[in-house]
Structure 1
Amino acid sequence: MEPQQAPRWWQTRLFVIAATLIAIIPLLRPEIPPLVDLPGHMGRFRVQIAIADHPFLKEWYDFNWSLIGNLGIDLLIIPMAKLFGLELGVKLIVMAIPALMVSGLLWIAREVHGRIPATALFALPLAYSYPFHFGFVNFELSMVIALNLFALWLRMARLGHVRLRAAIFVPISCLLWVCHTFGWGTLGVLAFSAELVRQHDAGHRWYKALVRAGLACVPLALPMALMIFWRSGDHVGGQTTDWFNWRAKIGWMVMVFRDRWELLDIASVAVVLMILVRAVRDPSIQYSRNLGLSAAFLLLVYILLPRIVFGSAYADMRLVPFMLAMAVIAIRPKTELSVLGTWVLATLGLAFFLVRIAATTASFWIYAQTYERELKALDHVPVGARLVSFVGEKCYGDWTASRLEHLPAIALERKMAYSNDQWSMAGAQLLTTQYAKAKRYAHDPSEIVTAVQCPREWWRPISTSLARFPRDAFDYVWLIQPPAYDPRLATGLVEIWRDGSSVLYKVDHSQPGPVVSDVELRAPVFRQH
């Protein structure tokens, strides 16, 4: 792009600031951002902050600080909770994620193209993608920081500050790894691809450019030692499996905008793909070699990544929005495209962004109302309660997810009540459960219940959970939009709050629970109100 031209409205600082602020609008209304896993993380944050002052938490949970590549918000919440309280602190951090993604994408586009191309606006709606809705908050935070760091990497190379860049990116890469390993790995892929093009453009043959690009990225390599230390201990569990699941990989592409309205979400994917295809076929727009190679490298990583890495599911799915965003911002109009044509492209891109923001805002408003309605049950739960929760789920979920799976953790966050939704995987995070009396109802996914036994799932039917949970270990039972169940299974449970099908029971330890055989539990009668 011609640097002497006056910047158009989408290339100004004012537009970048406005777009960044617009990106946080959907998160203004909800007190708790309605992201599937986020309440579970908030429960862990409460334990980390309060376990030293509440001995009963030590009976239920084991929390030990260790150096792992998954500590982004776990560390940030310490000062944020002191300043704003835990819930508002988490909300402010989460609000920063889409804002940083927008700023990062626009900054990268400016560094590579000289000015922000009109087509870059079509990448902005990816700030609210399926992985974000899922609540992979440490991952998301590390990835959006990586985007902004990549822009800084490009800028320092453009200004000739390569030695200074090498010096400052040694500690920066370590901090990014601590936030989440995925962000560090992605930064390495992006930096290497950019350096490869830069070295080739400097006159080096491709094989020399490869070597020089690798050497330029050495300052990013120190976290490899941290990775080996983290993953070589006996305490680390979880397998890496499900390679080259093409059906799932195609599905993640289709679901990249998955939120509430299936038709709109799929149509949004079609818009992004249309832009990507047009850049190949339309002579008036083209791909940047620099970002085009970055997007190609991310595509290769996506293809090679398995679905489960060290026991953590959806590893490949998380990369999709960033891969697509990088491909979109790689596109730029050629000089042959008229001023009117670029204005039309920018206007359409802005309209696409605003429509997605409006839809996400409405969706989050509805989810916020659901959260508030369900959380009224906690008004009847005392501090330190031994609470077991069961959240209704379908074997094959609808496009619109309930986002209630980890809502029980808000009882832990607000009331420091026991929550059986916490993940318990040594080495993956700082908290593990140790409440032996809870037996098989101690941790995730014991909180998920279904109408019947789902194939290839660990979830239990509601009838089994109500009949078999250890009543001596718990004083309260919280059912959140459960499937239909026979009232006889609530024998010995005293109802103290209800809203629709959701109900809070107090366990009457003076009464025996229902006596039901396994054969009876499988009978249809126990799947009816």
Structure 2
Amino acid sequence: MSAAPPRPPGPRPWWETRPFVAFLILLSVVPLLYPPVPPLVDLLGHMGRYRVQLDIQTSPWLSQYYDYRWLLVGNLGVDALVQLLAPIVGLEPAVKLIIISIPAMTVAGFLWVAREVHNRLPPTALFALPLAYSHPFNFGFVNFALAMALAFLAFGLWLRLGRLGKTRLRAALFVPISILIFFAHTFGWGMLGLMCFSAEAVRQHDNGRGWFRAGVHAALHASCLALPLVFMAAWRSSAPAGLTADWFNWGAKLHWIETIFRDRWKLWDFASMVITFVVIMLAFGNPRFGLSRNLGFSALVIVVVFLVLPRIIFASAYADMRLAPYLFALALLAIRFRSDTHRRTATVLAVVGLIFYLARIATTTASYAMAADDLREKLQALNHVSMGAKVATFVGQGCADWWSMPRNSHLGAMVIVRRQGFSNDQWDIVGSNLLSVRYDAGAYSSDPSEIVRPTYCRIPRAWRIVNNRLRGDWRVDDALTGFPRDKFDYMWLIDVSPYDPQLTSGMTPVWKGSRSMLYRLH
């Protein structure tokens, strides 16, 4: 690992100019311009919750189906912004504006961190920018993605104030900044703390202290980020103990590395991961390149955290998966020339990095447009659903997880968004979710009852038992056999595999679309 060389005199190369940086940031929002609703898997389910938080006091239906209670938990980012914006522009436009801002802030944060660490913008930083559309973002972990974007922006500010020697100002600013990011999502605050501590330890060591004393001083400087520990202690002490499980699942962790770009086309997404890995290997295999001690140490710390984290924390799944793209991002941002920049090599890397970024943006734009068209067509079913109706949605998925993101998993939540009705796809996790389900439809009350598999899948009869109730994943015929028709007004089948038609006898088809059917129940 190497220290940052001073910036050479003379004009900046084209990839370091402000207009080009602005272009990179603006380019990041292109995939989200066309879709009316961002086609992120879990986001549609979250939008159902946003509708409840906005209208439960005035809707004659929502209060019958749900309870909503604001809690001081570390998972409020988009929820709070929706509360501010939706009364002004409406729920769906507010969500789109907020989600569009996340990739832009992520790219800006990556570039700012690279600029502060290297005293310039290395061309290899361009390879990190496509990770603004990583697997966790495509999955719709929007509070997490927002908090990580804010964390990188805050880290850039931390580095700048440290470089300028304004540590007292930095300490004062980062008390409220840490609280803000904590309430956006706990992971963002944790990531910020780890990056700030590791970067400060390197800075202290560069100022002549041994590593032990540097670590002690870094901990003191980073203590200004510690106040959210009080909120976390209060939150977890009053919340039921959620499930924490699946430690050291090395197969899953390797899979999370392979899927950092997971979107739609497996070969291209996997090849993109390989491209970024090869660029990282430049820092180890080419004598012209090295790693910044600052970001290299931060990346190493995050690697350890990724390896130690379980897959499920407090009943929240994919805990370790969420960090995987940011390991790659930190490693890519850490790469630098060991001495003076070799201009020809740097230009080649900048051109290739820009082509890679443009290609990822282009394919992501195409993928999102395809998903948006499919979403728009299927949502026509809601034109035939009455206000306040109770709708059981069943969304077909394969026996095993396929590569293309299951973007329709929470399409049923749009019943809540646009019809203020009941949908069986909301998460009912006590202690970490602001929404709770009041309406009792047995095993069909909440997520994951909406997910159904083909009849030929081998799914054990002993399904998961939560709160003494059987819940899916289940085969489509099993789900339809036990379906309580008296509890719902409609049944909406989306992308389901073939099933026994006798199981829908007596239901009235009211709309049929592409791989979608809406039935009215009597």
With structure 2 as the length reference, what TM-score do the two structures score?
0.95
Residues 1:104 and 2:109 aligned together: yes
Cross-structure match for 1:68: 73
Matching residue within 368, 372, 383 for 1:368: 372
Give distance in 2, aligned partners of 1:16 and 1:369.
Answer: 31
Residues 1:210 and 2:218 aligned together: no
Give distance in 1, aligned partners of 2:405 and 2:226.
Answer: 39
Cross-structure match for 1:474: 488
Residues 1:450 and 2:453 aligned together: yes
Cross-structure match for 1:519: none
Give distance in 1, aligned partners of 2:284 and 2:27.
Answer: 30
**1:83 Cα shift?**
2.1
Q: How many positions carry a matched residue from both structures? A: 506
CA deviations on 1:117-159 (whole Å, 9 max, x unpaired) are: 0111111111111111100000000001000000000001111
Q: Is the 8 A contact 2:416 2:423 kept in 1?
A: yes
- Which secondary structure state, in structure 2, belongs to the residue aligned with residue 401 of structure 1? coil
Matching residue within 247, 255, 259 for 1:255: 259
Q: Is the 8 A contact 2:378 2:514 kept in 1?
A: no
Q: Is the 8 A contact 1:118 1:342 kept in 2?
A: yes
Q: Is the 8 A contact 1:3 1:114 kept in 2?
A: no
**1:506 Cα shift?**
0.5
**1:397 Cα shift?**
2.6
Give distance in 1, aligned partners of 2:489 and 2:123.
Answer: 59
Matching residue within 419, 429, 436 for 1:432: 436
Residues 1:484 and 2:487 aligned together: no
- Which secondary structure state, in structure 1, belongs to the residue aligned with residue 422 of structure 2? coil
Give distance in 2, aligned partners of 1:467 and 1:475.
Answer: 17
Cross-structure match for 2:282: 278
Matching residue within 221, 244, 247 for 2:248: 244
**1:5 Cα shift?**
3.0
**1:455 Cα shift?**
3.6
Cross-structure match for 2:121: 116
Residues 1:26 and 2:31 aligned together: yes
Q: Is the 8 A contact 2:36 2:372 kept in 1?
A: yes
- Which secondary structure state, in structure 2, belongs to the residue aligned with residue 286 of structure 1? strand
**1:337 Cα shift?**
4.8
Q: Which moved more, 1:457-466 or 1:397-406?
A: 457-466
**1:454 Cα shift?**
4.7
Cross-structure match for 1:86: 91
User: RMSD value over aligned CA atoms?
Assistant: 1.2
Q: Is the 8 A contact 1:194 1:294 kept in 2?
A: yes
Give distance in 2, aligned partners of 1:278 and 1:54.
Answer: 58
Give distance in 1, aligned partners of 2:41 and 2:257.
Answer: 19
Residue segments in structure 2 that go unaligned for 5+ positions in a row: 1-5, 464-471
Matching residue within 1, 11, 15 for 2:16: 11
Matching residue within 34, 42, 47 for 1:42: 47
Q: Is the 8 A contact 2:246 2:310 kept in 1?
A: yes
**1:3 Cα shift?**
4.5
Give distance in 2, aligned partners of 1:140 and 1:416.
Answer: 27
- Identity among equivalent pairs (%): 49
Q: Is the 8 A contact 2:76 2:143 kept in 1?
A: yes
Give distance in 1, aligned partners of 2:338 and 2:213.
Answer: 30
Give distance in 2, aligned partners of 1:104 and 1:501.
Answer: 41
Q: Is the 8 A contact 2:263 2:404 kept in 1?
A: yes
Q: Is the 8 A contact 1:285 1:337 kept in 2?
A: no
Cross-structure match for 1:184: 189
Q: Is the 8 A contact 2:384 2:511 kept in 1?
A: yes
Q: Is the 8 A contact 1:420 1:443 kept in 2?
A: yes
Residue segments in structure 1 that go unaligned for 5+ positions in a row: 509-529
CA deviations on 1:319-376 (whole Å, 9 max, x unpaired) are: 0111110000100123455311111111111011000000100111111111011111
**1:286 Cα shift?**
1.1
The letter of the residue matching 1:268 is: S
Q: Pick closer, same or farther for the CA change 1:440–1:27 going to 2, 3 Å.
A: same
Give distance in 1, aligned partners of 2:33 and 2:241.
Answer: 38
Give distance in 2, aligned partners of 1:258 and 1:243.
Answer: 23
Cross-structure match for 2:311: 307
- Which secondary structure state, in structure 1, belongs to the residue aligned with residue 74 of structure 2? coil
Q: Is the 8 A contact 2:61 2:421 kept in 1?
A: no
Cross-structure match for 2:469: none
Q: How does 1:323-472 map to 2 (within 5 A)?
A: 323-335=327-339, 337-436=341-440, 438-452=441-455, 454-455=458-459, 458-472=472-486
Cross-structure match for 1:137: 142
